[in-house]
Structure 1
Protein backbone atom coordinates (compact mmCIF):
# COMPACT_ATOMS: atom_id res chain seq x y z
CA UNK A 1 0.00 0.00 0.00
CA UNK A 2 2.97 2.31 0.63
CA UNK A 3 3.49 4.56 -2.38
CA UNK A 4 0.33 3.25 -3.99
CA UNK A 5 -3.20 4.60 -4.11
CA UNK A 6 -5.35 2.21 -2.04
CA UNK A 7 -8.38 0.74 -3.74
CA UNK A 8 -11.89 1.74 -2.74
CA UNK A 9 -12.49 -1.33 -0.55
CA UNK A 10 -9.34 -0.74 1.50
CA UNK A 11 -10.33 2.89 1.97
CA UNK A 12 -13.85 1.89 2.94
CA UNK A 13 -12.60 -0.60 5.54
CA UNK A 14 -10.20 2.02 6.92
CA UNK A 15 -13.01 4.59 7.20
CA UNK A 16 -15.34 2.07 8.84
CA UNK A 17 -12.79 1.23 11.53
CA UNK A 18 -11.94 4.86 12.22
CA UNK A 19 -15.63 5.73 12.60
CA UNK A 20 -16.49 2.74 14.80
CA UNK A 21 -17.22 3.36 18.47
CA UNK A 22 -15.78 -0.02 19.44
CA UNK A 23 -13.72 -2.85 17.88
CA UNK A 24 -15.48 -4.71 15.07
CA UNK A 25 -15.38 -8.31 13.92
CA UNK A 26 -14.61 -9.07 10.28
CA UNK A 27 -18.25 -10.02 9.79
CA UNK A 28 -19.46 -6.70 11.22
CA UNK A 29 -17.14 -4.76 8.92
CA UNK A 30 -18.39 -6.80 5.99
CA UNK A 31 -22.02 -6.04 6.87
CA UNK A 32 -21.22 -2.32 6.93
CA UNK A 33 -19.87 -2.70 3.39
CA UNK A 34 -22.75 -4.67 1.90
CA UNK A 35 -21.24 -8.09 2.40
CA UNK A 36 -17.83 -7.41 0.81
CA UNK A 37 -15.00 -9.84 1.54
CA UNK A 38 -12.74 -7.65 3.70
CA UNK A 39 -10.03 -10.16 4.64
CA UNK A 40 -7.51 -8.93 2.08
CA UNK A 41 -8.24 -5.29 2.88
CA UNK A 42 -7.67 -5.89 6.60
CA UNK A 43 -4.36 -7.64 5.93
CA UNK A 44 -3.25 -4.80 3.66
CA UNK A 45 -4.19 -2.15 6.20
CA UNK A 46 -2.41 -4.04 8.99
CA UNK A 47 0.78 -4.12 6.91
CA UNK A 48 0.44 -0.45 5.99
CA UNK A 49 0.06 0.70 9.60
CA UNK A 50 2.68 -1.66 11.05
CA UNK A 51 5.41 0.98 11.12
CA UNK A 52 3.26 4.01 11.79
CA UNK A 53 2.07 5.85 14.90
CA UNK A 54 -1.09 3.78 15.06
CA UNK A 55 -1.43 0.07 14.39
CA UNK A 56 -4.37 -1.96 13.13
CA UNK A 57 -4.66 -4.94 15.48
CA UNK A 58 -6.97 -7.90 16.02
CA UNK A 59 -7.89 -8.74 19.61
CA UNK A 60 -10.25 -11.61 20.28
CA UNK A 61 -11.48 -11.62 16.69
CA UNK A 62 -12.20 -7.88 16.72
CA UNK A 63 -10.27 -5.25 14.78
CA UNK A 64 -9.38 -1.72 15.89
CA UNK A 65 -6.71 0.94 15.65
CA UNK A 66 -4.47 1.54 18.65
CA UNK A 67 -1.48 3.73 19.43
CA UNK A 68 1.88 2.13 18.65
CA UNK A 69 3.18 0.66 21.93
CA UNK A 70 6.40 2.68 21.86
CA UNK A 71 4.42 5.94 21.59
CA UNK A 72 1.68 5.24 24.11
CA UNK A 73 3.48 7.20 26.85
CA UNK A 74 3.26 10.38 24.77
CA UNK A 75 -0.53 10.26 24.70
CA UNK A 76 -1.18 9.03 28.20
CA UNK A 77 -3.32 11.47 30.15
CA UNK A 78 -4.47 11.53 33.73
CA UNK A 79 -8.03 10.25 33.92
CA UNK A 80 -10.39 9.08 36.59
CA UNK A 81 -10.59 5.34 36.95
CA UNK A 82 -14.07 3.87 37.19
CA UNK A 83 -12.92 2.00 40.25
CA UNK A 84 -9.58 0.87 41.51
CA UNK A 85 -9.58 -2.92 41.65
CA UNK A 86 -9.31 -4.35 45.12
CA UNK A 87 -7.11 -7.33 45.82
CA UNK A 88 -10.20 -9.53 45.86
CA UNK A 89 -11.32 -8.25 42.45
CA UNK A 90 -7.84 -8.71 41.00
CA UNK A 91 -7.74 -12.32 42.19
CA UNK A 92 -11.26 -13.01 40.88
CA UNK A 93 -10.37 -11.54 37.48
CA UNK A 94 -7.27 -13.74 37.26
CA UNK A 95 -9.27 -16.85 38.16
CA UNK A 96 -11.96 -16.08 35.58
CA UNK A 97 -9.36 -15.38 32.88
CA UNK A 98 -7.48 -18.65 33.43
CA UNK A 99 -10.45 -20.93 34.18
CA UNK A 100 -13.50 -19.50 32.36
CA UNK A 101 -16.32 -20.13 32.39
CA UNK A 102 -16.50 -20.40 36.17
CA UNK A 103 -19.19 -19.95 38.82
CA UNK A 104 -18.94 -17.87 41.97
CA UNK A 105 -18.62 -21.09 44.00
CA UNK A 106 -15.69 -22.22 41.85
CA UNK A 107 -14.00 -18.83 42.25
CA UNK A 108 -14.44 -19.10 46.00
CA UNK A 109 -13.06 -22.66 46.02
CA UNK A 110 -9.88 -21.49 44.27
CA UNK A 111 -9.48 -18.37 46.40
CA UNK A 112 -10.30 -20.21 49.63
CA UNK A 113 -12.61 -17.44 50.82
CA UNK A 114 -16.07 -16.12 50.04
CA UNK A 115 -16.36 -13.60 47.22
CA UNK A 116 -18.48 -10.54 47.93
CA UNK A 117 -21.19 -9.71 45.41
CA UNK A 118 -19.60 -6.31 44.82
CA UNK A 119 -16.39 -7.96 43.60
CA UNK A 120 -17.96 -9.40 40.45
CA UNK A 121 -20.13 -6.29 40.00
CA UNK A 122 -16.98 -4.14 39.76
CA UNK A 123 -15.49 -6.42 37.09
CA UNK A 124 -18.71 -6.41 35.08
CA UNK A 125 -19.05 -2.63 35.32
CA UNK A 126 -15.49 -2.29 34.03
CA UNK A 127 -16.58 -4.34 31.00
CA UNK A 128 -14.00 -7.07 31.59
CA UNK A 129 -16.32 -9.85 32.80
CA UNK A 130 -19.67 -11.01 31.47
CA UNK A 131 -22.32 -13.58 32.34
CA UNK A 132 -21.68 -16.63 30.17
CA UNK A 133 -24.74 -18.74 30.90
CA UNK A 134 -25.50 -21.26 33.62
CA UNK A 135 -23.95 -24.61 34.50
CA UNK A 136 -26.32 -27.53 33.97
CA UNK A 137 -26.16 -28.83 37.54
CA UNK A 138 -28.60 -28.51 40.46
CA UNK A 139 -29.12 -24.86 41.23
CA UNK A 140 -27.88 -23.88 37.75
CA UNK A 141 -25.22 -21.44 39.00
CA UNK A 142 -24.34 -18.41 36.88
CA UNK A 143 -21.08 -18.70 34.92
CA UNK A 144 -18.65 -15.85 34.34
CA UNK A 145 -16.15 -15.29 31.52
CA UNK A 146 -13.95 -12.48 30.22
CA UNK A 147 -14.97 -10.12 27.40
CA UNK A 148 -13.31 -8.82 24.22
CA UNK A 149 -12.79 -5.56 26.16
CA UNK A 150 -10.62 -7.50 28.64
CA UNK A 151 -8.41 -8.74 25.80
CA UNK A 152 -8.21 -5.27 24.28
CA UNK A 153 -7.35 -3.56 27.58
CA UNK A 154 -4.52 -5.97 28.33
CA UNK A 155 -3.27 -6.17 24.74
CA UNK A 156 -4.06 -9.87 24.26
CA UNK A 157 -4.95 -11.46 20.94
CA UNK A 158 -6.71 -14.29 22.78
CA UNK A 159 -6.66 -16.03 26.16
CA UNK A 160 -3.85 -18.22 24.79
CA UNK A 161 -1.63 -15.14 25.16
CA UNK A 162 -2.13 -14.98 28.93
CA UNK A 163 1.27 -15.14 30.66
CA UNK A 164 2.37 -18.10 32.71
CA UNK A 165 3.19 -17.83 36.41
CA UNK A 166 6.94 -17.57 35.72
CA UNK A 167 6.47 -14.65 33.35
CA UNK A 168 4.22 -12.83 35.79
CA UNK A 169 6.68 -13.21 38.64
CA UNK A 170 9.69 -12.21 36.53
CA UNK A 171 7.88 -9.05 35.47
CA UNK A 172 7.06 -8.19 39.09
CA UNK A 173 3.33 -8.28 38.41
CA UNK A 174 2.38 -10.67 41.19
CA UNK A 175 2.77 -8.23 44.06
CA UNK A 176 0.59 -7.86 46.11
CA UNK A 177 -1.29 -10.99 44.98
CA UNK A 178 1.69 -13.28 44.49
CA UNK A 179 0.35 -16.01 46.76
CA UNK A 180 -3.07 -16.02 45.08
CA UNK A 181 -1.58 -16.36 41.60
CA UNK A 182 0.80 -19.05 42.82
CA UNK A 183 -2.04 -21.16 44.18
CA UNK A 184 -4.12 -20.46 41.07
CA UNK A 185 -1.37 -21.76 38.78
CA UNK A 186 -0.51 -24.79 40.90
CA UNK A 187 2.66 -23.60 42.61
CA UNK A 188 3.83 -25.38 45.77
CA UNK A 189 4.52 -22.08 47.53
CA UNK A 190 2.69 -21.76 50.86
CA UNK A 191 -0.14 -19.28 50.90
CA UNK A 192 -0.27 -16.63 53.59
CA UNK A 193 -2.95 -14.05 53.11
CA UNK A 194 -5.42 -11.80 54.85
CA UNK A 195 -9.02 -11.39 53.80
CA UNK A 196 -9.90 -8.10 52.16
CA UNK A 197 -13.48 -8.70 51.11
CA UNK A 198 -14.60 -5.69 53.14
CA UNK A 199 -12.73 -3.53 50.63
CA UNK A 200 -14.36 -5.37 47.73
CA UNK A 201 -17.78 -5.06 49.28
CA UNK A 202 -17.40 -1.31 49.63
CA UNK A 203 -15.96 -0.89 46.08
Structure 2
Protein backbone atom coordinates (compact mmCIF):
# COMPACT_ATOMS: atom_id res chain seq x y z
CA UNK A 1 0.00 0.00 0.00
CA UNK A 2 1.48 3.42 -0.94
CA UNK A 3 2.28 5.64 2.04
CA UNK A 4 0.50 8.93 2.67
CA UNK A 5 3.24 11.10 1.14
CA UNK A 6 3.09 9.27 -2.19
CA UNK A 7 -0.68 9.37 -2.59
CA UNK A 8 -0.64 12.97 -3.79
CA UNK A 9 2.17 12.33 -6.28
CA UNK A 10 0.74 9.41 -8.22
CA UNK A 11 1.93 9.51 -11.79
CA UNK A 12 0.27 7.77 -14.73
CA UNK A 13 1.94 4.39 -14.20
CA UNK A 14 1.06 4.35 -10.50
CA UNK A 15 -2.52 5.44 -11.17
CA UNK A 16 -2.99 2.69 -13.72
CA UNK A 17 -2.01 -0.05 -11.30
CA UNK A 18 -3.27 1.27 -7.96
CA UNK A 19 -6.78 -0.19 -8.21
CA UNK A 20 -5.32 -3.47 -9.46
CA UNK A 21 -3.32 -3.73 -6.23
CA UNK A 22 -5.94 -2.42 -3.83
CA UNK A 23 -9.71 -2.51 -3.56
CA UNK A 24 -11.38 0.50 -1.93
CA UNK A 25 -13.73 -0.30 0.93
CA UNK A 26 -17.39 0.73 0.84
CA UNK A 27 -16.55 3.70 3.05
CA UNK A 28 -13.72 4.76 0.77
CA UNK A 29 -16.03 4.38 -2.23
CA UNK A 30 -18.49 6.75 -0.56
CA UNK A 31 -15.71 9.27 0.03
CA UNK A 32 -14.62 8.92 -3.61
CA UNK A 33 -18.13 9.73 -4.80
CA UNK A 34 -18.27 12.82 -2.60
CA UNK A 35 -14.91 14.06 -3.89
CA UNK A 36 -15.99 13.36 -7.45
CA UNK A 37 -19.18 15.38 -7.02
CA UNK A 38 -17.37 18.28 -5.33
CA UNK A 39 -14.68 18.55 -8.02
CA UNK A 40 -17.24 18.20 -10.82
CA UNK A 41 -19.45 20.95 -9.41
CA UNK A 42 -16.63 23.37 -8.61
CA UNK A 43 -16.23 26.37 -10.93
CA UNK A 44 -12.44 26.29 -10.50
CA UNK A 45 -9.81 23.84 -9.23
CA UNK A 46 -10.84 22.71 -5.76
CA UNK A 47 -8.45 22.53 -2.81
CA UNK A 48 -8.02 19.46 -0.64
CA UNK A 49 -8.77 21.39 2.53
CA UNK A 50 -12.09 22.59 1.11
CA UNK A 51 -13.05 19.00 0.21
CA UNK A 52 -12.09 17.79 3.67
CA UNK A 53 -14.62 20.21 5.17
CA UNK A 54 -17.43 18.54 3.16
CA UNK A 55 -16.41 14.94 3.89
CA UNK A 56 -17.18 13.06 7.13
CA UNK A 57 -14.80 13.78 9.99
CA UNK A 58 -11.70 11.61 9.80
CA UNK A 59 -12.12 10.84 6.09
CA UNK A 60 -8.84 10.17 4.26
CA UNK A 61 -9.12 12.74 1.47
CA UNK A 62 -5.67 11.89 0.09
CA UNK A 63 -6.52 8.24 -0.38
CA UNK A 64 -9.97 8.98 -1.81
CA UNK A 65 -8.44 11.30 -4.42
CA UNK A 66 -5.68 8.82 -5.24
CA UNK A 67 -8.24 6.08 -5.86
CA UNK A 68 -10.42 8.47 -7.87
CA UNK A 69 -7.47 9.58 -10.00
CA UNK A 70 -6.63 5.93 -10.67
CA UNK A 71 -10.24 5.18 -11.61
CA UNK A 72 -10.26 7.99 -14.18
CA UNK A 73 -6.92 6.97 -15.68
CA UNK A 74 -7.28 6.07 -19.36
CA UNK A 75 -10.72 7.67 -19.73
CA UNK A 76 -11.66 10.62 -21.91
CA UNK A 77 -11.61 12.83 -18.80
CA UNK A 78 -8.83 12.65 -16.20
CA UNK A 79 -8.64 13.86 -12.62
CA UNK A 80 -5.66 16.21 -12.42
CA UNK A 81 -3.84 17.89 -9.52
CA UNK A 82 -2.17 21.31 -9.72
CA UNK A 83 -0.44 22.23 -6.49
CA UNK A 84 -2.99 21.02 -3.95
CA UNK A 85 -6.04 21.72 -6.08
CA UNK A 86 -7.92 19.22 -8.22
CA UNK A 87 -10.02 19.46 -11.38
CA UNK A 88 -11.23 17.36 -14.31
CA UNK A 89 -9.48 17.84 -17.65
CA UNK A 90 -9.89 16.23 -21.06
CA UNK A 91 -7.29 13.53 -21.73
CA UNK A 92 -4.28 15.11 -23.51
CA UNK A 93 -4.28 12.52 -26.32
CA UNK A 94 -7.79 13.63 -27.34
CA UNK A 95 -6.83 17.26 -27.88
CA UNK A 96 -6.92 16.75 -31.66
CA UNK A 97 -10.65 15.96 -31.51
CA UNK A 98 -11.46 19.07 -29.52
CA UNK A 99 -9.44 21.64 -31.43
CA UNK A 100 -11.25 24.76 -32.53
CA UNK A 101 -10.28 28.02 -34.12
CA UNK A 102 -9.78 30.92 -31.77
CA UNK A 103 -8.03 34.25 -31.61
CA UNK A 104 -4.31 33.77 -31.08
CA UNK A 105 -3.27 35.62 -27.91
CA UNK A 106 -0.33 37.98 -28.08
CA UNK A 107 2.91 36.14 -27.38
CA UNK A 108 5.17 37.18 -24.54
CA UNK A 109 8.25 39.14 -25.49
CA UNK A 110 11.67 37.57 -25.16
CA UNK A 111 12.30 39.73 -22.10
CA UNK A 112 9.09 38.51 -20.45
CA UNK A 113 9.86 34.85 -21.24
CA UNK A 114 13.36 35.15 -19.79
CA UNK A 115 12.03 36.87 -16.69
CA UNK A 116 9.33 34.23 -16.24
CA UNK A 117 11.89 31.43 -16.55
CA UNK A 118 14.17 33.05 -13.97
CA UNK A 119 11.31 33.48 -11.51
CA UNK A 120 10.16 29.87 -12.05
CA UNK A 121 13.60 28.37 -11.41
CA UNK A 122 14.93 30.81 -8.80
CA UNK A 123 11.82 31.79 -6.82
CA UNK A 124 11.46 33.60 -4.58
CA UNK A 125 13.40 36.14 -6.65
CA UNK A 126 13.77 39.90 -6.31
CA UNK A 127 13.99 42.38 -9.16
CA UNK A 128 17.71 42.86 -8.50
CA UNK A 129 18.31 39.10 -8.68
CA UNK A 130 16.41 38.86 -11.98
CA UNK A 131 18.44 41.73 -13.43
CA UNK A 132 21.70 40.17 -12.22
CA UNK A 133 20.92 36.87 -13.97
CA UNK A 134 19.69 38.48 -17.22
CA UNK A 135 22.43 41.10 -17.29
CA UNK A 136 20.03 43.91 -18.26
CA UNK A 137 17.61 46.20 -16.46
CA UNK A 138 14.07 44.91 -15.91
CA UNK A 139 11.40 47.30 -17.16
CA UNK A 140 8.19 47.90 -15.26
CA UNK A 141 6.20 46.90 -18.36
CA UNK A 142 7.69 43.42 -18.49
CA UNK A 143 6.73 42.62 -14.89
CA UNK A 144 3.30 44.21 -15.38
CA UNK A 145 2.59 41.82 -18.26
CA UNK A 146 3.56 38.76 -16.20
CA UNK A 147 1.42 39.89 -13.27
CA UNK A 148 -1.54 40.56 -15.58
CA UNK A 149 -1.34 37.04 -17.04
CA UNK A 150 -1.68 35.66 -13.52
CA UNK A 151 1.46 33.53 -13.92
CA UNK A 152 3.52 35.56 -11.45
CA UNK A 153 2.58 36.79 -8.00
CA UNK A 154 4.03 38.97 -5.26
CA UNK A 155 5.23 36.72 -2.44
CA UNK A 156 6.61 38.96 0.28
CA UNK A 157 9.50 41.24 1.16
CA UNK A 158 13.06 39.97 1.55
CA UNK A 159 14.52 40.55 5.01
CA UNK A 160 17.40 42.54 3.53
CA UNK A 161 18.37 46.21 3.14
CA UNK A 162 15.64 48.00 1.22
CA UNK A 163 13.21 45.12 1.90
CA UNK A 164 12.80 44.29 -1.81
CA UNK A 165 9.67 42.51 -3.02
CA UNK A 166 10.05 38.86 -4.04
CA UNK A 167 8.21 37.19 -6.91
CA UNK A 168 7.02 33.61 -7.48
CA UNK A 169 4.83 31.61 -9.84
CA UNK A 170 1.14 30.74 -9.40
CA UNK A 171 -1.15 27.74 -9.84
CA UNK A 172 -2.30 29.39 -13.08
CA UNK A 173 1.29 29.10 -14.36
CA UNK A 174 1.29 25.36 -13.54
CA UNK A 175 -2.10 24.91 -15.20
CA UNK A 176 -1.06 26.68 -18.42
CA UNK A 177 2.13 24.66 -18.82
CA UNK A 178 0.58 21.33 -17.79
CA UNK A 179 2.60 20.89 -14.58
CA UNK A 180 1.44 19.31 -11.33
CA UNK A 181 4.13 21.05 -9.31
CA UNK A 182 7.00 23.44 -9.95
CA UNK A 183 9.51 20.60 -9.46
CA UNK A 184 8.22 19.08 -12.74
CA UNK A 185 10.01 21.79 -14.74
CA UNK A 186 12.75 20.25 -16.91
CA UNK A 187 16.25 19.98 -15.45
CA UNK A 188 19.59 20.26 -17.25
CA UNK A 189 19.53 16.65 -18.49
CA UNK A 190 16.03 17.12 -19.89
CA UNK A 191 17.07 20.31 -21.68
CA UNK A 192 20.13 18.58 -23.15
CA UNK A 193 17.96 15.67 -24.35
CA UNK A 194 15.66 18.16 -26.07
CA UNK A 195 18.63 19.50 -28.03
CA UNK A 196 18.60 22.92 -26.39
CA UNK A 197 22.27 22.70 -25.39
CA UNK A 198 24.13 21.42 -28.43
CA UNK A 199 27.32 23.36 -27.80
CA UNK A 200 29.86 23.08 -25.02
CA UNK A 201 28.56 24.47 -21.76
CA UNK A 202 30.65 26.83 -19.61
CA UNK A 203 32.46 25.23 -16.70
CA UNK A 204 30.23 25.06 -13.64
CA UNK A 205 27.06 25.73 -15.64
CA UNK A 206 23.94 24.27 -14.07
CA UNK A 207 20.18 24.55 -13.87
CA UNK A 208 18.80 24.98 -10.33
CA UNK A 209 16.28 22.50 -8.99
CA UNK A 210 13.01 24.49 -9.18
CA UNK A 211 11.05 24.67 -5.96
CA UNK A 212 8.07 26.52 -4.64
CA UNK A 213 6.26 26.77 -1.35
CA UNK A 214 3.11 28.81 -0.83
CA UNK A 215 4.42 29.75 2.63
CA UNK A 216 6.95 32.57 2.95
CA UNK A 217 10.61 31.57 3.26
CA UNK A 218 12.64 32.28 6.39
CA UNK A 219 14.17 35.35 4.77
CA UNK A 220 10.80 36.80 3.70
CA UNK A 221 8.14 38.78 5.50
CA UNK A 222 4.50 39.55 4.54
CA UNK A 223 3.72 42.49 2.28
CA UNK A 224 2.40 45.46 4.20
CA UNK A 225 0.23 48.39 3.12
CA UNK A 226 3.25 50.56 2.33
CA UNK A 227 4.11 51.37 -1.32
CA UNK A 228 5.85 48.58 -3.22
CA UNK A 229 8.70 50.91 -4.08
CA UNK A 230 11.50 49.54 -6.23
CA UNK A 231 9.51 46.55 -7.43
CA UNK A 232 7.58 48.77 -9.83
CA UNK A 233 9.67 51.92 -10.09
CA UNK A 234 10.31 52.76 -13.77
CA UNK A 235 13.90 52.15 -14.78
CA UNK A 236 15.69 55.21 -16.24
CA UNK A 237 17.01 53.10 -19.11
CA UNK A 238 13.65 51.45 -19.87
CA UNK A 239 13.26 50.89 -23.60
CA UNK A 240 17.04 50.90 -24.19
CA UNK A 241 18.57 47.96 -22.37
CA UNK A 242 15.33 45.95 -22.18
CA UNK A 243 14.47 43.69 -25.13
CA UNK A 244 11.00 44.11 -26.59
**Aligning the two structures, in what range does the TM-score lie when normalised by the shorter sequence?**
0.7 to 0.9
User: How far does residue 169 in structure 1 lie from its aligned partner after superposition?
Assistant: 4.8
Q: Equivalent of 1:22, from 19, 44, 68? A: 44
Q: Is the 8 A contact 2:179 2:185 kept in 1?
A: yes
Q: Match for residue 154 of structure 1?
A: 177
After superposition, residues 134-145 of structure 1 pair within 5 angstroms as 134-145=157-168
- Structure 2: 5+ residue runs without aligned partners? 1-18, 207-239
Specify whether residues 32 and 135 from structure 1 end up closer, same or farther in structure 2 by C-alpha distance, changes over 3 A only.
same
Q: Match for residue 115 of structure 1?
A: 138
In structure 1, distance between residues paired with 2:116 and 2:41: 31
Q: Which moved more, 1:59-68 or 1:130-139?
A: 59-68
In structure 2, distance between residues paired with 1:35 and 1:85: 46
Q: Is the 8 A contact 1:83 1:122 kept in 2?
A: no
Q: TM-score, normalised by structure 2?
A: 0.65
Q: Match for residue 242 of structure 2?
A: 197
Q: Which moved more, 1:143-152 or 1:73-82?
A: 73-82
Question: Is residue 128 from structure 1 mapped to residue 151 from structure 2 by the alignment?
Answer: yes
Alpha-carbon RMSD? 2.9
Q: How many residues align?
A: 183
Q: Deviations over 1:153-184 (max 9, x none)?
A: 21222222110234235436x5xxx8xxx89x
In structure 1, distance between residues paired with 2:185 and 2:98: 26
- Structure 1: 5+ residue runs without aligned partners? 188-194
After superposition, residues 1-203 of structure 1 pair within 5 angstroms as 7-33=29-55, 37=59, 38-80=61-103, 83-171=106-194, 186=205, 197=242, 199=244
Larger radius of gyration: 2
Q: Is the 8 A contact 1:88 1:196 kept in 2?
A: no
Q: Secondary structure at the match of 1:197?
A: coil
Q: TM-score, normalised by structure 1?
A: 0.77
User: How far does residue 34 in structure 1 lie from its aligned partner after superposition?
Assistant: 6.2
